[in-house]
Chain A
Amino acid sequence: MTNLITREKTFILEAGTKDGALTELVNKTAAVADLSNPEKIISALMHREKLMSTGIGLGIGVPHIRSDLTTEPVISMGVCRNALPDYDSIDGIPVKIIVLIITGIGQHKEHIRILSSIITKLKNESIRNDLINTSSTDSIFKALETAT
């Protein structure tokens, strides 16, 4: 998965709520990636979450949008120090791993491909457990390396 998520885009998230965690992840990502308007990204993500939660079960949340604020895919991962019970996942399990996917407005195919690739990989129990039990960005990246 390191071909999708680079080391500097892996984070430990301190927030204890869904909105807080998403805001924190976007701001941290914007600080290292080419994202000019994090507020707008957060607003678009919140709108998407209102339509239906991106909590896909098994403790994983995949907030994703296509936006005109980027022309290249921006993918980052945050592991929550505390699981988020308010994420409203389809299986009701609190979310611990959040993968943020932002692609360009015209990157329809890439968006679906990245989403599919990440969900497939995170369904692997050992990778998932490695990520859930991690406590630093280094160990997140190590876990991702094993998933390639």
Chain B
Amino acid sequence: MTFLPGSFLSSLHHLQHFPKVDILLLLGLALFGGSIGGRLFSKIKIPQVVGYIVIGLIVGQSGLNIIDQETIQILQPFSYFALGLIGFMIGGELKKSTLARYGRQFVWILLFEGMTAFVVVTALVSGIGLFFMEPRSALATGLILGAIASATAPAATTDVLWEYKTRGPLTSIILGIVAMDDGLALLLFAMASSIAASLLGSSDGSTAKLFLYPLYDIGGAILLGVTCGLMLKQVIRKSSDNGKILAHSIGAVLIALGLARISHVDFLLAAMTVGVVITNGNPRKSVEVFQTVEKFTPPIYIVFFVLFGAKLTVASLTLPAAAIALAYLIGRTMGKMLGSRYGARISSAPATVQKYLPYCLFSQAGVAIGLSIVAGQRFSDSTGSMIVVVITATTFVVQLLGPPCVRMAVSKAGEVGLNITEEDLIRSTTVAETMDRNVPVLFENSPISAILTAFSASPNLCFPVTDKDKCLIGIITVAHIKDVLMTTELNEFLLTHDLMEPPVVTTSETKSVAEAQELMNRYHVEYLPVLSTAGKFIGIMEKHSIQTLISRKLVELQNQVKG
């Protein structure tokens, strides 16, 4: 032992202090368990995000406590990162054209849904509060909870939109509203907490500061986001490597998040602004940027929602807190529904928005919890702790009920499955939908003239050769016939049998186009004969026709969105 240097001994000593559960193991379990939970919920037609949160609840503080308070605290930057990515992706949806098209509707709906929720919650909570507390406290609690009620959480809502690939007016309006109503919530909260402080006699004379803070919070975040967005735009201008684009984009989002946290400005808004700058500053490049980042995000989101579920504590609700929580829930739901419906109506939003937007704004999370904690610290008496308990309990409820409502609304609005890229279509389309069932079939003894007739009468570039039982025995391609055209003296002696080649690879109609393409690439062929389960020939897939069919489908989907 005397030969061991002191530093080595001290590092050995350090190794004895392992954390209770390794963070990497925890992340792995959260990701694995979360995705299984998501898949199980998806099978029963409930958005996967609910599954992630439920898994979080099971392993978190309200359940098995595998993920405890300390771990959640350690992983807090990870949640900021996930929220930053969500913000960045939402920002990417806020294109100039969308804002020009729905801008007026955004403003009206935002004002009405936010203000109505504020007014209704304030009235209801204050009213119910009168049964349990003195009038001033009841009104103060009502005002603070009313302000918090106006916020809508983007994460769980947008996750449903992305999971179901939605596109259309309702989707655009939801994204716009969830992106912007935190600003309104901050302003209302500043106003409400100032009045509440006066009511409760705890005003510290910093009302001006309280009103100026939201301006600093929002303005600072936008400034930071614009700076980081412009920096990213410049760096990726000439980059075509997806790996580098991803690294630069994530880097810019992280810088925006870090600086926002240091400067105490809204980090979500900062990340969102980075997205807005990219999508509007370089629209063509932005498609590549957001597609690349999107592929990177699923595991981050899963862990984020699992951690979110783990953080929720089902507090032992007292009767007054339960009554106020119920009043808050009812008031917020009614306020959001009535306000968004009225806002949509007076801004002449499309019928689907008027009808279904009211079901899409229930989600409540980070901003609401954050504001409740601020209120808890500012009003350190029973009002403050009541607000924290009510927001935590109601967040638990709305985060579980909100996503299924969004799913129901977007599917009734007919927007599910319309936000589909070429890649998605290739993955989701089956061979059965794209194969050519009417390709002319040749037989072994078909003469050259029959092959030439087939080529001249159909757009196919290859033809199956089958026996009388429809079993595939070969393929004739344009390359085969080309050689014969140069040697016309052979035409009367040759048969299809002499020119065909045995099928290199076949597929079945249940396979996806992506799988079929992968087979074509692996075997270097331009076609795939499709066989039934009984091994009979039923159609052919040609590489050149896949592109045509996929493009046609994309145009059809775009027309549906416009329609």
Q: Which residues from chain A sit less than 8 Å from chain B, CB to CB?
A: 48, 51-52, 54, 56, 62, 64, 66, 90, 105-106, 108-109, 111-113, 115-116, 119-120
Please measure, in the bound complex, the distance between the C-alpha atom of A130 and the C-alpha atom of B494, giving whole angstroms. Answer: 27
A52 touching B502, Cβ below 8 Å: no
Please measure, in the bound complex, the distance between the C-alpha atom of A113 and the C-alpha atom of B493, giving whole angstroms. Answer: 14
B498 touching A64, Cβ below 8 Å: yes
Chain B contacts of A112 at CB under 8 A? Answer: 483-484, 487, 490
CB distance from A24 to the nearest CB of B (A): 23
Chain B contacts of A120 at CB under 8 A? Answer: 489
Please measure, in the bound complex, the distance between the C-alpha atom of A115 and the C-alpha atom of B495, giving whole angstroms. Answer: 13
Give the bracket for the number of chain B residues in contact with chain A.
10 to 19
CB distance from B485 to the nearest CB of A (A): 10
Please measure, in the bound complex, the distance between the C-alpha atom of A120 and the C-alpha atom of B495, giving whole angstroms. Answer: 18
CB distance from B475 to the nearest CB of A (A): 12
CB distance from A32 to the nearest CB of B (A): 25
B489 touching A108, Cβ below 8 Å: no
B493 touching A56, Cβ below 8 Å: yes
B483 touching A109, Cβ below 8 Å: yes
List 27 A–B pairs whose Cβ atoms lie within 8 Å, in order of A's numbering: A48-B497, A48-B498, A51-B444, A51-B497, A52-B445, A54-B493, A56-B493, A62-B493, A64-B498, A66-B498, A90-B492, A105-B501, A106-B501, A108-B479, A108-B480, A108-B483, A112-B483, A112-B484, A112-B487, A112-B490, A115-B487, A115-B490, A115-B494, A116-B490, A119-B489, A119-B493, A120-B489
Within 8 A of A (CB), among B465-506: 479-480, 483-484, 487, 489-490, 492-495, 497-499, 501-502
Chain B contacts of A111 at CB under 8 A? Answer: 498
Chain B contacts of A51 at CB under 8 A? Answer: 444-445, 495, 497
List the 4 closest A-B pairs by CB distance, nearest first. Answer: A116-B487, A51-B445, A112-B483, A56-B493
Chain B contacts of A105 at CB under 8 A? Answer: 501-502
Chain A contacts of B498 at CB under 8 A? Answer: 48, 64, 66, 111
Chain A contacts of B494 at CB under 8 A? Answer: 115
Q: Which residues from chain B sit less than 8 Å from chain A, CB to CB?
A: 444-445, 479-480, 483-484, 487, 489-490, 492-495, 497-499, 501-502
SS class of chain A's interface: helix, strand, loop or mixed? Answer: helix
CB distance from B23 to the nearest CB of A (A): 56
Please measure, in the bound complex, the distance between the C-alpha atom of A113 and the C-alpha atom of B78, giving whole angstroms. Answer: 68
Residue on B nearest A120 in the bound complex, by CB: B489
CB distance from B256 to the nearest CB of A (A): 58
Please measure, in the bound complex, the distance between the C-alpha atom of A119 and the C-alpha atom of B498, giving whole angstroms. Answer: 15
CB distance from B300 to the nearest CB of A (A): 49
Please measure, in the bound complex, the distance between the C-alpha atom of A56 and the C-alpha atom of B489, giving whole angstroms. Answer: 11
Chain A contacts of B493 at CB under 8 A? Answer: 54, 56, 62, 115, 119
Chain B contacts of A108 at CB under 8 A? Answer: 479-480, 483, 499, 501
A52 touching B495, Cβ below 8 Å: yes
Please measure, in the bound complex, the distance between the C-alpha atom of A18 and the C-alpha atom of B445, giving whole angstroms. Answer: 20
Residue on B nearest A111 in the bound complex, by CB: B498
Chain A contacts of B497 at CB under 8 A? Answer: 48, 51
Residue on B nearest A116 in the bound complex, by CB: B487
Please measure, in the bound complex, the distance between the C-alpha atom of A108 and the C-alpha atom of B484, giving whole angstroms. Answer: 10
Residue on A nearest B492 in the bound complex, by CB: A90
CB distance from A59 to the nearest CB of B (A): 15
Chain A contacts of B490 at CB under 8 A? Answer: 112, 115-116, 119
Q: Which interface residue of A111, A112, A113 has the most chain B CB atoms within 10 A?
A: A112
Please measure, in the bound complex, the distance between the C-alpha atom of A62 and the C-alpha atom of B493, giving whole angstroms. Answer: 9
Other contacts beyond A108-B501, A115-B493: 16, CB < 8 A = A48-B497, A51-B444, A51-B445, A51-B495, A52-B445, A56-B493, A62-B493, A106-B501, A108-B479, A108-B480, A112-B487, A112-B490, A115-B494, A116-B489, A116-B490, A119-B489
Please measure, in the bound complex, the distance between the C-alpha atom of A31 and the C-alpha atom of B17, giving whole angstroms. Answer: 80
Please measure, in the bound complex, the distance between the C-alpha atom of A51 and the C-alpha atom of B445, giving whole angstroms. Answer: 5
